[in-house]
């Protein structure tokens, strides 16, 4: 079987350094240097067919940048601000949420500008240390820049529309 020397060639983020033996089926393998600094061994066929173009760093970066679109919502590690925004949107627009009757059910809405998290966080900023809960200054008003502040949970717990049992 004739092996084509691909040393020095680039395939995506990979640059071929040297031949690294063969598979049990006799396919040539190559040691490659990735742009991120890692080295991997890849079958030549996979390089030439475009099946392998990085050491998988591209997939990790792509997944990370998609998940962290605004830097606040990586899986179960959501920021205080992102959780507050999600809860605010649910209370106002999701009739299946228990607290909907106290918010959306009473006609309370979120201003159009805040229907995306990026504009919400641009307007209100990160919550100050110790202030983890969003508060409407006027409890009957909508969620909007002029009617919003961050407060501690201990203060928020005092705000009740109903009497506890």
pLDDT in tens, 97-124: 898 999 999 999 999 999 988 899 889 8
| Average pLDDT score, the chain | 82
For residue 50, give both structure tokens: 């475009």
Q: Is the pLDDT of residue 17 over 70?
A: yes
Give the pTM: 0.52
* Residue-level pLDDT at 154: 63
Beta strands in 5-45 (DSSP E): 10-11, 14-22, 28-34, 39-43
Name the pLDDT band for 59 (thresholds 50, 70, 90). Answer: low
For residue 151, give the DSSP letter: E
CB atoms within 10 A of CB 75: 6
How many Å apart are CA 79 and CA 84, to the nearest integer? Answer: 9
* Beta strand 133-135 pairing with 77-78: unpaired
């Amino acid at each position: 079987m004739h092996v084509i020397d691909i040393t020095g060639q680039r395939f995506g983020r990979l640059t071929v350094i040297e031949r690294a033996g063969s598979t049990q089926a006799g396919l040539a393998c190559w040691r490659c240097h990735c742009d991120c600094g890692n080295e991997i061994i890849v079958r030549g066929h996979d390089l030439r067919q475009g099946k392998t173009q990085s050491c998988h760093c591209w997939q990790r970066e792509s997944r990370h940048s998609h998940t962290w679109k605004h830097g606040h919502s990586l899986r179960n590690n959501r920021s205080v601000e992102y959780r507050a925004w999600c809860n605010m949107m649910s209370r106002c627009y999701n009739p299946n949420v228990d607290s909907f009757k106290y918010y959306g059910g009473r006609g309370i809405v979120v201003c159009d500008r805040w229907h995306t998290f990026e504009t919400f966080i641009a307007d209100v900023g990160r919550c100050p240390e110790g202030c983890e809960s969003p508060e409407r200054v006027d409890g009957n008003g909508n969620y909007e820049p002029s009617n919003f502040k961050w407060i501690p949970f201990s203060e928020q717990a005092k705000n009740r529309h109903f009497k506890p049992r």
